[in-house]
Structure 1
Amino acid sequence: MKRLGRFLLFALAGVASAPIQAAVDDSLLLMLSGDEKMVSIASGTPRPLSKAPSVASVITAEEIKAMGARNVYEALELVPGMHVGISGSEGQKPIFPTRGIVSLQDPQILILVNGHGIKGLTTSSNEAGLYLPTEAVQRIEVIRGPGSAIYGADAFAGVINIITKRAEDQHGVEFGLRGGSFNTWDSWAQFGKHFENGWGLFAHVGYSKSDGDRGRIITSDLQSSLDTLLGTQASLAPGPMDTSYEARTAMFTLDKDNWTAHLNLWQTPKSGTGAGIANALDNQGNGDVNKYQFDLGYEDKNWRPDWTFGTQFSYLYTHIDYHLGIFPRNALLPIGADGNVSFTPPFNLVSFPDGLIGVPGREEKTTQFDVTLNYTGLVRHAWRFNAGVRKEDFSARESKNFGPGVIDGTIASIGGTLTNVSGTPFVYLPDTTRTVSYLSVQDEWAFARDWALTAGVRQDQYSDFGGTTNPRLALVWAARQDLTARLLYGEAFRAPSFAELKTANNPANLGNPSIRPETIKTTELAFDYRPSDKLWGALNIFSYDIEGLIDFVPGPAGNVAQNAKNQQGQGIEVEAHWQALPDLQILGNLAFQDAKDKATGLVVADAPRKQAMLSADWKIDSDWSLRIDNFWIADRPRAAGDTRAAVADYVWTNLTMRYVQKEQKWEAAFIARNLLDVDAREPAPTSIPNDYPLPGRSLMLELRAHF
């Protein structure tokens, strides 16, 4: 890594050997070139992508629509170096392995909606079953690399900000209907208008459902191994993963003058458990996820001479209940004296004719208030000051037919009657409250013509484990009108989740109040080249060093959370957009990463070391368009001790053909996913020997009407 760091500095020094011109105002330095996309997530204020003090990507509503992405997760596959996978935890939720940083819960990516976090408090990760449709999305901004100097905790490997539409983004009324394979249906209605009194309103309601691809067969699971060992026949394998769901959304944006308010409601009353919470197929499990987000913001760009004032309040409420058949009916399981499944003697074999059943639930409330001041009174400087406080409240409820306070392994057969342990010492996680206060300062200094230095630092103070400080530096050189070079350095952290700190009475994992935050230091050298309005290319070289990755390590009482791993990685990301013909655009990216455990030197398992995207977007004529997207995922090694062959590479092809009626009153689209019906799989633990199969070919028709 030191050699790569020296190379980065040497490379930038070579580029910087041209004469430095006289300094001018930073507005000239940051001038938009052509139709270059703007991004706000990198610095807190809008900047052209090539001048942003982070490596960032922007996916617009037009691109989302062109590629036929039904949800945010599909759209994120366009981001170089970020793969959208699935986790076997909590029912096959999407995870985002980025630059070789991957974990079961995937808490190292911060997910925002309109700048406000929506991740769960239990695991600090994306909620299983949370469905995020794209129809109300205006753009998605993504940082690859650290973002804690602006956003604090969890902005570790990257930040995703989903920006919803406003009144000016939706003209009149739109109705939409989409349906096809796996009995999948999406329907929505949305409306946008500015009223004479100055208020603007955007409103969206949507409903989605799917039976899931029943052809995603798990040939063997954890219960299969137990059946072989104990002579039972309880396993549901071979059998399909349960990826069915039903989802409802409502999203509203109201704005006038300096005020903006958002109200977002996501409800998933039915969500299948995939391959099962314990990697044992579950035909009686279901998740019920409800998440409500409200935020109110005020910004006065003329608050005082040279000062901009902004303040924001946000409230996130989450209510989740799972009904889990952790092990299937007629399972015979080894039960320890604490009533949990235990493979370490002493234990008794206990029969569960109705299955091992858990009904955990939780209620989470996150309230946040902050103030931002921007000052431009100093020549060539743009200062940003931000301070705020966040309160996180968590409460758990649980009913089950196993565990402490319920059974002790002495009864040979346990039925399906559940015991409510909510509010007792036997619940899976005690009620918890955390308060976080933070203060950040950032200066963007145009110290010479075509040169700018962004320097910032943020201090976060946690009520449960103390404080953490994270700086950033970004040197941006507009070498020529068509070439920009950036040298970036940033530090970030991930706070331990409530589950990692305090999980108890769990048959698999136990919390540890002594663990400390994960930390990362990242150096990047990025080039942006735009030789003409028809061609754009970017190259990014990165290197990072991680200390204290949290994992659950086997111990005498079970797996206990520990700062168990240190990791280092490096790699390159290349992307290009080419307007090959007036009506044909070619887009592509390629990413390589080499991430290793610092102690053992072994390659990090499960994350793709190579991935690429190649797309063609063809405007056939004024009415018809055709988009083809190809995604290559390759070189995913196994963990140490896993003797299976590496996870197979695959190329995934999507196709979208769209017709827009000349008056744009209605449009229709044909959407194909996994067009070539490849057998693509995502990594699974050894209890699922053949990994998690991805959906087979799916075909859908879409209709939209505009009024």
Structure 2
Amino acid sequence: MPKLFYRFYYFVLLVATSFNCFATSNAPQSDLFSLDIAQLSELEVTIASNTSETRATAPSTITVFDEQKISSLGIINAFDVLNFVPGMQMARGDWVGAVPKEHARGVRLDNGYLLILLDGVRLNESSFGKATVYTPFIAASILERVEIIRGPGSALYGSNAFLGVVNFITKKQHQQLTLSIGEHGYKALSGSYSHKQDDVTFNGNISLQQADGQSYAVTDNFDVKDPLKHVLLNAQLNYQDTTIAFHFIENQLDEFINLGGYSNENVHKSQSFSTSLEHTLWQNERHTLDALVSYANFQIDSSGMVLPKEFGIVSEDFLVGPNWQTQWTKFSLSHSLKLAEDKQLNSGLEYRHASQYQAGATTNYYDYQSELIIPDDSFYLGELKRLKNIPEFSALRASHDFYGIYSQLKWQLNEKWLFFVGARFDDIKGIDSKLSPRFSAIWQPLEHHSIKLQYGESFRTPVNNELYSSDSVTKGNPNLTSEYVKTSEFVWLYTNHDLSLESVLFHNQLRDFINLVPIDGNSFFTFDNTVNENIAGLELSASKALNKLNVSVNFTQLFDEPINASFKRFANLSVRYPTSIATIHLNAIWRDEIDAPLSENTHFYQPSYGLVYLKLTRDFGKHTLSVSAENLFDKEYAIFDPRVWDGIVPAKRRSIVINYQYTFN
């Protein structure tokens, strides 16, 4: 421990000295955290109810990160924000190892139990269900805000809003340029631009990132890396009552681990694109009617090493993976009606057509005559080939129609009592129909105190991969039904100008959960509605301002065992302290041990561990210089995944990045 302490001390001293060299004697040191705790708690969000609410009045348990808080975490990938959310964690896992996997309230089932939105646009698609396969990386540097529902959200959002909803909101009204360079060949450029003229407003963001990746020793003579290539473009044009928006994201995560196997030939390239048109059709003192038309397209080209040549079956490693494309088109209407001063009714309807129109493979073994992927030397292709559509995967080229209608009443009974009651009905043609009710009673008995009693139900519809897959790893099950959860929550929230406390007691009844079921040992799987469990837990949060020092801490304790081995207890700590040289942001996460038997002869054990994140920031007016470090002390640890033969997925080691930002406005 002393050695780690001295490394940390000299690191801080070196960076602080560097900042001091840049500083002038009277350089302004602006306080990025000028809002006090009470003001931050009063930030309005719409993610929970389609009405403007605060943490105290929202009919869900929510967490909000503003731009300054996101920046203070010192993270590169926006998904890592979830490591600082009560009840949630984000970690690696197989398929694909470098793709982030969510852990939410005791569930780590890699099936898309969080609905991920980018500026309100759904990133979950219809082949895998989860957003992170097609969009595994979103640059944190272009985010203005992150709004998170912890708990059910299907009453507003339908399928996938199961254990939570995350809305990444990009920067608006910014004119900034950021340059970054760091360890492991990391380089990044990001920028935000905004322009307003008369009734027209334009906002746009760009992010370009590249890294050689860290090195991981698979054997004594074999290493792999986890390189990154990332492109993000998004723009929004507003004219009077009309908004046009689009986004394009491309990510490439090669090598490392894919489908359980390490190889320098592993590939994983993905794209997501969306465009939308929103228009206010009608608005007066009582009514607002909005229409939205949107389109999204998702592409993936991935191949993993599933059969090494060392097994003696083939002369060269056998690699295979999906080469798929999906799309969806959506039309929705939303209506807000002010019934009275104390009553508001929000309703809407939605139609979404989702289809997978390409179901091919990227592989180096294929028999063109039988049109089958066969790992045999006579069918070796010499290199990876990209096959757009093959008969073996033809069942995946399926489409589904989603119809949804919802309504929600907000009733302010008096100064102390606020009620929300609503429901959404979804009909997924050919698969299932689900009703998702919700209820929230909010009592404010004293100033600064809020007590919430909440109940909601959510569901997730099985996706193409679960229904129809047929590859060397998984076999689909067309008889699957939708899984659903019934969630009860009791929330107490206290907020004043320098102290915020939150306690959330939740109980989830998980029904008909779809889980991977081994068919042949641990190497071949199918899907089945096998899980019916109850998971309860406690989420505690506290934030305190002590003069210049700001401290926040979150702690989660599950009372029941997680589904698939995951973290039963975890916590995080954030400390901010401004000095005359730089503002110090110290963040840490702690995770409990994982002890998981895999078979009679294989056992995974990872002791509890902590990770430290540090960011030092110095503001010189329009110029900002910062140094950030993830996993500062270079902690070596593993992430558990049951589909890897020994359960071990190596976690990221230390990464130090220097950032320079110039603000034009």
* Same-fold call, TM cutoff 0.5: yes
TM-aligned CA deviation for residue 463 of structure 1: 1.3
Deviation track 1:114-167 (CA, whole Å, cap 9, x = no partner) reads 222112321101233632002221111001111100100011111101112223
Deviation track 1:635-655 (CA, whole Å, cap 9, x = no partner) reads 333157475253221110010
Q: Given that residues 42 and 53 in structure 1 are in contact (C-alpha distance below 8 angstroms), is that contact kept between their aligned partners in structure 2?
A: yes
* Structure 2 residue 432 is matched with structure 1 residue 459: no
Distance 1:429 1:446, change over 3 A: same
Distance 1:440 1:284, change over 3 A: same
Q: Distance in 1 between matches of 2:372 and 2:54?
A: 61
Q: Distance in 1 between matches of 2:390 and 2:583?
A: 60
Q: Given that residues 658 and 667 in structure 1 are in contact (C-alpha distance below 8 angstroms), is that contact kept between their aligned partners in structure 2?
A: yes
Q: Distance in 1 between matches of 2:145 and 2:373?
A: 53
* Partner residue, 2:654: 697
Paired residue secondary structure (1:65): helix
For residues 144-155 of structure 1, the aligned pairs below 5 Å read 144-155=150-161
Q: Given that residues 401 and 429 in structure 2 are in contact (C-alpha distance below 8 angstroms), is that contact kept between their aligned partners in structure 1?
A: yes
Q: Given that residues 648 and 681 in structure 1 are in contact (C-alpha distance below 8 angstroms), is that contact kept between their aligned partners in structure 2?
A: no
For residues 248-267 of structure 1, the aligned pairs below 5 Å read 248-267=231-250
TM-aligned CA deviation for residue 238 of structure 1: 6.1
Please tell me the residue identity of whatever aligns with 1:695.
Answer: K
Given the alignment, which residue of 638, 641, 651 partners 1:684? 641
Given the alignment, which residue of 424, 444, 448 partners 1:478? 444
Paired residue secondary structure (1:470): strand
Q: Distance in 1 between matches of 2:366 and 2:319?
A: 10
* Partner residue, 2:289: 309
Please tell me the residue identity of whatever aligns with 2:352.
Answer: R
* Partner residue, 2:30: none
* Partner residue, 1:607: 566
Given the alignment, which residue of 649, 652, 658 partners 2:608? 649
Distance 1:108 1:385, change over 3 A: same
Distance 1:462 1:693, change over 3 A: same
Identity, in percent, stands at 20
* Partner residue, 1:26: none
In structure 2, the gaps of 5 or more residues are: 1-36
Given the alignment, which residue of 490, 495, 498 partners 1:525? 490
Deviation track 1:332-364 (CA, whole Å, cap 9, x = no partner) reads 46xxxxxxxxxxxxxxxx3233x2132531111
* Partner residue, 2:351: 389
Q: Distance in 2 between matches of 1:64 and 1:188?
A: 15
Paired residue secondary structure (2:47): coil
Q: Given that residues 360 and 390 in structure 2 are in contact (C-alpha distance below 8 angstroms), is that contact kept between their aligned partners in structure 1?
A: no
CA RMSD in angstroms comes to 2.4
Given the alignment, which residue of 382, 393, 403 partners 1:437? 403
Q: Given that residues 587 and 616 in structure 1 are in contact (C-alpha distance below 8 angstroms), is that contact kept between their aligned partners in structure 2?
A: yes
Q: Given that residues 97 and 106 in structure 1 are in contact (C-alpha distance below 8 angstroms), is that contact kept between their aligned partners in structure 2?
A: no
* Structure 2 residue 125 is matched with structure 1 residue 120: yes
Q: Given that residues 88 and 684 in structure 1 are in contact (C-alpha distance below 8 angstroms), is that contact kept between their aligned partners in structure 2?
A: yes
* Partner residue, 2:227: 244
Q: Distance in 2 between matches of 1:307 and 1:406?
A: 58
* Partner residue, 2:504: 540
Distance 1:424 1:397, change over 3 A: closer
Distance 1:528 1:672, change over 3 A: same
Please tell me the residue identity of whatever aligns with 1:545.
Answer: Q
Given the alignment, which residue of 623, 632, 636 partners 2:594? 636
TM-aligned CA deviation for residue 567 of structure 1: 1.5
For residues 481-492 of structure 1, the aligned pairs below 5 Å read 481-492=447-458
Deviation track 1:654-697 (CA, whole Å, cap 9, x = no partner) reads 10001110xx2211001111112222221133745372222222
Q: Distance in 2 between matches of 1:90 and 1:626?
A: 34
Q: Distance in 2 between matches of 1:53 and 1:89?
A: 35
Distance 1:629 1:555, change over 3 A: closer
For structure 1, which segment, 238-247 or 88-97, has the greater mean C-alpha deviation from structure 2 after superposition? 238-247
* Structure 2 residue 291 is matched with structure 1 residue 289: no
TM-aligned CA deviation for residue 82 of structure 1: 0.6
TM-aligned CA deviation for residue 100 of structure 1: 0.2
Distance 1:399 1:410, change over 3 A: closer
Please tell me the residue identity of whatever aligns with 2:363.
Answer: K
* Structure 2 residue 359 is matched with structure 1 residue 400: no
Paired residue secondary structure (1:155): coil
Please tell me the residue identity of whatever aligns with 1:319.
Answer: Q
TM-score of the aligned structures, taking structure 2 as reference length: 0.88
Q: Distance in 2 between matches of 1:422 and 1:549?
A: 32
Aligned residues between the structures = 619
TM-score of the aligned structures, taking structure 1 as reference length: 0.83
* Partner residue, 2:302: 322
Given the alignment, which residue of 626, 630, 633 partners 2:584? 626
* Structure 2 residue 541 is matched with structure 1 residue 575: yes
Deviation track 1:195-236 (CA, whole Å, cap 9, x = no partner) reads 1x221111222210111111x3335xxxxxxxxxxxxxxxxx
Paired residue secondary structure (2:256): coil
TM-aligned CA deviation for residue 260 of structure 1: 2.1
Q: Given that residues 71 and 132 in structure 1 are in contact (C-alpha distance below 8 angstroms), is that contact kept between their aligned partners in structure 2?
A: yes
TM-aligned CA deviation for residue 174 of structure 1: 1.9
Distance 1:687 1:95, change over 3 A: closer
Q: Given that residues 365 and 375 in structure 2 are in contact (C-alpha distance below 8 angstroms), is that contact kept between their aligned partners in structure 1?
A: no
Q: Distance in 2 between matches of 1:121 and 1:666?
A: 43
Please tell me the residue identity of whatever aligns with 1:535.
Answer: L
Please tell me the residue identity of whatever aligns with 1:57.
Answer: T
Please tell me the residue identity of whatever aligns with 2:181.
Answer: G
Q: Distance in 1 between matches of 2:95 and 2:156?
A: 30
Please tell me the residue identity of whatever aligns with 1:276.
Answer: N
Q: Distance in 1 between matches of 2:330 and 2:118?
A: 14
* Structure 2 residue 307 is matched with structure 1 residue 366: no
* Structure 2 residue 632 is matched with structure 1 residue 675: yes
Paired residue secondary structure (2:262): coil
Please tell me the residue identity of whatever aligns with 2:439.
Answer: L
Please tell me the residue identity of whatever aligns with 1:672.
Answer: A
Given the alignment, which residue of 118, 131, 145 partners 2:137? 131
Please tell me the residue identity of whatever aligns with 2:100.
Answer: P
Deviation track 1:345-402 (CA, whole Å, cap 9, x = no partner) reads xxxxx3233x213253111111111011111123421101110100101121225354
In structure 1, the gaps of 5 or more residues are: 1-31, 220-236, 334-349, 597-602
For structure 1, which segment, 410-419 or 154-163, has the greater mean C-alpha deviation from structure 2 after superposition? 410-419
Deviation track 1:80-122 (CA, whole Å, cap 9, x = no partner) reads 111111121124310110110111x341111011222112321
